[in-house]
Structures are given as structure tokens and as C-alpha cells.
Structure 1
Amino acid sequence: MKTLVLGATPNPQRYAFAAANKLVKHGHEIVNVGIKQGEVAGAPILNGTPAMEEEVDTVTLYVGPKNQEPYYDWLINEVKPRRIIFNPGTENAELSMLAHKAGIETETGCTLVMLSSGHY
């Protein structure tokens, strides 16, 4: 199963960059989606709301709440992950509520910490 990194960026100073690389290092397949061009951890950054050809287990968010709304329908009705991880600064009660209504688990936490501690 794959992890979708929403807010992916080729900027090595950003947490999304670190998370994508750490996910791959820990053996997870990733799909990068963001507004930037380029690639991270060997996977291209897809723009917009691309069709998902494979099942996505987890979405890890690196997009602030103000910029999440355009992704709501796509995440809930097309990506349909098992869970969404709200990393620090991405917490969003509205998206969390929509996810729960659709049977999607949500977690508030840090993907980097979860991977380091074996709780991913």
C-alpha cells in the first residue's frame, strides 16, 4: 500500500521533503502531490488532483488548513485512504469530520516521529 504525501516539495528544508525520503527509507511506496514541480525520493511530484491508479493506505498532510479545501472531495471520494495523518500545522476539524463520516481514520501527529518510533 502507498502513502500519499500531500504538499510534496523538492525543497530539502521542508518537512514534506524529509517525510517522503524517510518513508522510502523505511520501505514505504509514496505518491507525491503538490503545487511544485520536480521529484522527491525518486517519485515525481504530481500536480492538481491526479487519478490514483493504486490503492492509497495513508495520506500524510503537509498543506495548511486554508489550502486543504480544494482537496476535500478528491481525498474523500477518489483517493479513499484508510487514514489521514494531520502533521503539526495541518490540523483541520472540517476535513477530519468529513473523513470520519466516510469511514477514514484520522491521526494528529508527526509522520517523521511516527516513523522514528515505529508507530507508523
Structure 2
Amino acid sequence: MSKKTLVIGASLKPQRYSNIAINRLVNYNHEVVAFGLREGEVAGITIDTNLLPYKNIHTVTLYLNPERQKAFYDYIISLKPERVIFNPGTENTEFQNVLKQHHIFFEEACTLVLLGTNQY
């Protein structure tokens, strides 16, 4: 089952984990949308540089450090995702508490590992 996923912190650089995650999500047939600082395309997915009002987001996967996440709290909550994944290095207790208040599930996990182990 496809889980529409928003990758926040998407990078055009092939060695970045966000880039690898976009490629793998596409390979696993998940619908992907992406937000990053630079416009471009990864695996046929356009990286948006504006925060768009995406619909039916199942998962938001974060590739931003906790300080940079603050600007996205309200935006992510407004999308009403079913879950938010805090990839290694993005763990953020403050934001996790905000998500709890809005009854949004979150987990500290690696998107790549979840995909590779059929736990996504």
C-alpha cells in the first residue's frame, strides 16, 4: 500500500540521505512530494521550494536539524499526517511534544531502514 510521503529537507546531492530516501520511496512505489532549499528533481520528483498545501499526506520524514524544524511546526501540523519520522540527527523532544498535543504519531527511526525491513 502506497503511503504518500513528504520529504522535508530534500537535497539534490546524491550522497545525502534525503536524496537516497526519495529514490527508495519511489522504488517502493510510494507517492512522494518533497520540500527543499533548491529547486530540482530527484527520481522524477520535483523538489518544491514553497510550502504547498499537500493533501492526504500519510508520512512526513524529516531531514532537518531540530533548530531548523521550528519554522515547520505549524505547517506539518496543518497537513495532519498520520506520522512523522525523525531520522537520525533530527530527534526533537520539543516538536515531539507538540505532535503529541495534536495526536500525531511520531517515531525516531530511519526511513531507509524502515523501507529495507518492510516496516514502512
Give the TM bin, normalised by the shorter chain.
over 0.9
Matched residue, 2:44: 42
Matched residue, 1:18: 20
Q: In angstroms, what is the RMSD of aligned CA positions?
A: 0.9
Unaligned runs of 5+ in 1: none
Letter of the aligned partner of 2:65 in structure 1? G
**Is the 1:8–1:17 Cα contact (8 Å) retained in structure 2?**
yes
Matches within 5 A, 1:61-80: 61-76=62-77, 78-80=78-80
CA distance in 1, matches of 2:34, 2:6: 6
CA distance in 2, matches of 1:49, 1:80: 14
Matches within 5 A, 1:1-120: 1-52=3-54, 54-76=55-77, 78-120=78-120
TM-score normalised over the length of structure 2: 0.95
CA distances 1:9-28 after superposition (whole Å, capped 9, x unpaired): 11101000000000010010
- How far has the Cα of 1:48 moved from its partner? 3.3
Letter of the aligned partner of 1:75 in structure 2? I
| Matched residue SS, 1:91 | coil
TM-score normalised over the length of structure 1: 0.95
**Is the 1:19–1:112 Cα contact (8 Å) retained in structure 2?**
yes
**Is the 1:34–1:47 Cα contact (8 Å) retained in structure 2?**
yes
**Is the 1:2–1:30 Cα contact (8 Å) retained in structure 2?**
yes
| Matched residue SS, 2:58 | strand
Unaligned runs of 5+ in 2: none
| Matched residue SS, 2:97 | helix
Letter of the aligned partner of 2:69 in structure 1? Q
| Matched residue SS, 2:21 | helix
